[in-house]
Structure 1
Amino acid sequence: MSVAADRSENLRMIRDSAGAVVPPGDLRRVRALRSGAPGIDRDVWREMCAMGWPGLRLPEAEGGSGLGMAEFCALVEELGRGLVPEPLIQGAFAARLLRGEALEALLAGERIVLPAWQERAGAIAAGRDAALRDGRVTGRKLFVPMASCADAFLVTTHDGLALVRADAPGVSLEIAGTQDGGHFGTLSLDDAPAEAVAAATEDAVDEALDEAALALAAYLLGAMERSFALTLDYLCTRRQFGRPIGSFQALQHRAADLGIQIALTRASVESAAATLDSAGPAAPRAAAVSRAKARAATASMLVTRQAIQLHGAIGYTDEADIGLYLRKAMVLANLHGSAAEHRARYARLLPETDHD
């Protein structure tokens, strides 16, 4: 079997494996978990770990599968279709930086470790205002997704990374609900005991952040594709003036425009994944990620908003599944860098790349 055929088979199997967690068209589990703590199902998380998902990008020598970003993006795209709330992207981010027992516990599903790196809204780079001294950390981190489910946090500081137990003295967590029924956490650390993660360099953190940003773009791609499919189905079944409303030319034009946005996003995400999987300079890799994340953030908001409008009044009700996709896009569009931040970074990097 050729390398291309082998990789195509890997992608197919990964997408199929996601069906165990994302039953096609069934959002009852997602609805049941909304607006409560911890907002995830631990059994589902352990199932994800049993399938090796958090370690998909890790070398086999470190307990991972040794696969690339193309495979990881294919996986999280399927999770985006089903609006899966379990923090796989954040867990995989942490797994890329951990070693030893902490990594083993994460990969085994025994602990959920979430990175706490953000200090301002829409940021791309890790904030490093927190201080790590003599095994204790002090600082404040914002916008930690699904923070209440964490057993520990991987905290960025100007002295390196620190692993902090969620129940350690000096740790406090303030939870704020989000539009999609999930939550963000504000993590405050006051001389909290911590374990330094010496193996993680600043470059490694930056690479992990870019991988998480691209994975989030893939998740948004899956969400917008599913919302588009629901909309097309509605246009074909809802009748007005004796015929399906999908036969009206004006609505066909709007649907075609949304299809183009989705196709452009897919091309951008797949191109960025291929760039990250190649051994190349840092600047083109970061530029490809920024292009994909900016497009996914903008397109996901456009597609899901238009999907609501094309559904008419029913789209605005909580009972309609289509509204869940808009709410998810509203929450995730700015996570791991807003579209504006990524466009600005792409513009800074453009002179150093061969990208158009």
Structure 2
Amino acid sequence: MSESDTEDWQENARMIVDSARAIVPADGSLSRVRKARFHGSGFDREVMRQAADLGWMLMRVEEDAGGLGLGMRETCALMEVLGGGLVPEPVLSSLMAAAVLQERLPEAVLTGEAVIVTAWQDKVGAQDWRGGASGGRLLGRKYNVPGAADADFFAVVTGGGVAVVPRGAEGLTVTSEETLDGGRTGLLTFDGVEAEFLPCERVEQVLQDARLAHSAYLLGLSERALTITLDYLRVRKQFDKPIGSFQSLQHRATEMKIRLELARAAISATARRFDTGADERTRSRDAARCKLRAGELAMLVAREAVQMHGAMGITDEADIGLFVRKAISEANLFGGPRQQRASLAALLDQEEAA
């Protein structure tokens, strides 16, 4: 990679991060996030319109298809900022839909007038996505659909292709339930929904990209939660001393910081490999490794934050409690630690057999 290419992506990432400040306050305020919890659809359509105006929906759409053609390094930079701000909007799911559909994305989504999210997961606790297509119709279910409560379109991923399904399609039932962090997750049930299946050979690649991008979201969440916790250790006192001066807590804080920086390095290196043409096996392996690191990191920081804050760490009034709930809600999306280890073991077996 040339020096100019490196400078290009870094400048792009800086601009993307700067644009995110329209949604994630620079002062770290979580007032908007608090208002959205346990209320309505769990996200703000105006924020999704802003995201469209800022060009985020087109980040992973190729330039010859009318998009920005940006890479995973820029995408991960954005998702890290959104994670630090606990942004509840289904930005990543919309990015996935755009990446799958490319120039076939509905015009209303490009203008921000409509919201599209991706429905891909066939089973709870599994990463299967090829079900649903049968003779020009959609059957069965798609689980864990973010933003389903108020989305206008669904990009439904199946083994027979991708179908763009409007919310009011005959035979489609959309149900949603609250998550621990105050958001909502959706279930789509298809009873013979007529659909046009668009060919797409990039589904697995898009899912790998999303797994990496979600790892960056968890990284941003974990870093902000750790910062809040370290600040608390400096002000809370026992025996007339800040508890942050206790060696045992220093060791635990150091462990979190090391794990965080290792996750950051892994995500950065993987994003670079994705952008420079990694092969399919490398992409699968590295995305799983990053998701494993990021998911475990988020849960580690959440546990330690509660321990170090004491009982107030899980209260609704404390900001750290919002991060703990979000970590629990998000850590297993795109596959939890057990699934990532199973994926890595299977890839290792394939390499040994080759």
Mark yes or no: TM-score above 0.5: yes
Aligned residue for 1:28?
31
Deviations 1:176-224 (A, max 9, x none): 21101111111111122323223x12xx110111111111100000000
Measure, in 2, the Cα distance between the counterparts of 1:174 and 1:343: 31
Measure, in 1, the Cα distance between the counterparts of 2:83 and 2:258: 19
Q: Does 1:64 align with 2:67?
A: yes
Q: Aligned-pair distance for 1:34?
A: 0.7
Measure, in 1, the Cα distance between the counterparts of 2:159 and 2:10: 41
Q: Aligned-pair distance for 1:353?
A: 6.5
Aligned residue for 2:214?
216
Report the more deviating stretch, 70-79 or 35-44. Answer: 35-44
Q: Aligned-pair distance for 1:101?
A: 5.3
Paired residues for 1:118-267 under 5 Å: 118-126=121-129, 128-134=130-136, 136-198=137-199, 200-201=200-201, 204-267=202-265
Residue 353 to residue 260, structure 1, CA distance change in 2 (3 Å): farther
Measure, in 1, the Cα distance between the counterparts of 2:177 and 2:275: 36
Q: State how many pairs are aligned.
A: 349
TM-score by length of 2: 0.94
Residue 191 to residue 311, structure 1, CA distance change in 2 (3 Å): same
Measure, in 2, the Cα distance between the counterparts of 1:277 and 1:125: 25
Residue 351 to residue 277, structure 1, CA distance change in 2 (3 Å): farther
Contact 2:234 2:243 in 1 (8 A): yes
Measure, in 2, the Cα distance between the counterparts of 1:63 and 1:239: 57
Contact 2:62 2:102 in 1 (8 A): no
Aligned residue for 2:96?
93
Q: Aligned-pair distance for 1:32?
A: 0.5
Root-mean-square deviation over aligned CA pairs: 1.8
Aligned residue for 2:275?
277
Question: Structure 1 vs Structure 2: percent identity of aligned residues?
Answer: 46
Q: Does 1:81 align with 2:84?
A: yes
Matching residue's letter, 1:180: D
Q: Aligned-pair distance for 1:122?
A: 2.9
Residue 53 to residue 245, structure 1, CA distance change in 2 (3 Å): same
Give the gaps of 5 or more residues in structure 2: none
Q: Find the partner of 1:300 among 298, 301, 309.
A: 298
Q: Does 1:12 align with 2:10?
A: no
Deviations 1:91-121 (A, max 9, x none): 0000011144534332321221111111222
Q: Aligned-pair distance for 1:28?
A: 0.8
Aligned residue for 2:118?
115
Give the gaps of 5 or more residues in structure 1: none
Aligned residue for 2:54?
51
Report the more deviating stretch, 206-215 or 4-13. Answer: 4-13
